[in-house]
Amino acid sequence: MTAPPEAAQVLAPNLARHPVPCPLCGRPEGFRTLFTPWSPCDDPRQLYGAASGLPGTQTLVECPDCSMIFENPRFPDEAILAGYLASEEGGHDSQYPMRVESFYRALVRLKEHLPPPGARVLDIGTAGGAFLDAATRYGYDAHGLEPSRDLTERGKKRGLKIEQGTIADHSLPPGSFDMVCLWDVIEHLTDPKADLERIRPLLKPDGVFLVNFPDIGTTQARLSGKRFWWILSVHLHHFTRRTMADIMQRTGYEPFHFRRYWQTLQFGYLEDMAARLNIPLTAFIARHTPRFIREIPMPYYASQTTALARVKR
């Protein structure tokens, strides 16, 4: 896939990172530096064009007023969005059935807090539509919103209800959803606060807002330091349970439940990931694992948290 012409124009070589204010409380400066790049890269095409992002390229700071952790300085929004548009998708399609399984299990685990089957649900940034498949199986009337034209077309061909658009630009009717989901999207948004405010009117008065995010407040994150696996060039914001609750409250939601998100992937896929991370002996073991074992579904926890909220009355 080639970059759209507007992307090529925006990704001019003279772009540079600029200081940004705190995305949560608006404090303009005076942040504490947590991590500096250990694998520097100054090319927005590489930083934002790679579907899963690059590790070690960011300076992450923490706001002394609200504890928000975010990339600062950062490339202009237009460069980031152009990079996302130009990004190549695919790669983890082989795990599509496992991702559907992960989402389905998550819905079952969260059951008591979610709208009952039959409810109308929207998934924002639905990508290939794995959540829509899971939600349909759960009994929901599932709708998706996805910026990529390519992914939208692919999902439609598979019979899913997907609209191409963004949080700021879509034709979804307000007040029409019992639940709106943001799975692994909020950390990519250039202005998460503005987008959370835009999402709120889509919900019915009793609707549930679900946000799943990489959680930098976990013990795993603390122990991993700057090598924490979710610190990637495409993740502009890093939330903890505390800052997630804070941004929800500031944008008109009342959070009522937080839970660890357990993903499901095939054992072989996890083996391959471990091998790529150079964990000793894993490459050898992966090569010698029988196929029926590599296909076993494995639940694992990798510092993701699911937050549930309702619109404030």
Residues that bind Zn ion (CB under 5 A): 22, 24-25, 27, 63, 65-66, 68
Neighbours of 45 (CB within 10 A): 18
Short-list 131, 184, 182, 202, CA closest to 161: 131
β-strands 60-62, 120-124: how paired?
unpaired
Ramachandran class of 177: left when φ > 0, alpha when ψ lies in -120 to 50, beta otherwise: beta
Q: What does the buried/exposed string (b/e) look like for 106-133 if buried means 16 or more CB atoms within 10 Å of the residue's CB? A: bbeebeeebbeeebbbbbbbbbbbbbbb
Residue 68 Cβ, how far from Zn ion at the closest point, in Å? 5
- Please check whether residue 82 is in contact with residue 10, taking contact to mean a CB–CB distance below 8 angstroms: yes
Element (H, E) at 133: helix 130-138
**Cα angle 29, 200, 230; round to 5:** 50
**CB nearer Zn ion, residue 154 or residue 237:** 237
**CB nearer Zn ion, residue 193 or residue 200:** 193
**CB nearer Zn ion, residue 22 or residue 247:** 22
**CB nearer Zn ion, residue 146 or residue 246:** 246
β-strands 60-62, 69-71: how paired?
antiparallel
Distance CA 127, CA 145 (A): 8
Residue 67 Cβ, how far from Zn ion at the closest point, in Å? 7
Residue 38 Cβ, how far from Zn ion at the closest point, in Å? 25
**CB nearer Zn ion, residue 24 or residue 135:** 24
Neighbours of 218 (CB within 10 A): 20
Residue 195 Cβ, how far from Zn ion at the closest point, in Å? 17
Q: At 108, which amino acid appears?
A: V
Prior bond of 174 cis (ω within 30°): no
**CB nearer Zn ion, residue 146 or residue 195:** 195
**CB nearer Zn ion, residue 29 or residue 153:** 29
Residue 296 Cβ, how far from Zn ion at the closest point, in Å? 44
- Please check whether residue 217 is in contact with residue 242, taking contact to mean a CB–CB distance below 8 angstroms: yes
Residue 28 Cβ, how far from Zn ion at the closest point, in Å? 10
Place of tokens 């899913």: 160
Residue 246 Cβ, how far from Zn ion at the closest point, in Å? 9
Residue 72 Cβ, how far from Zn ion at the closest point, in Å? 11
**CB nearer Zn ion, residue 32 or residue 276:** 32
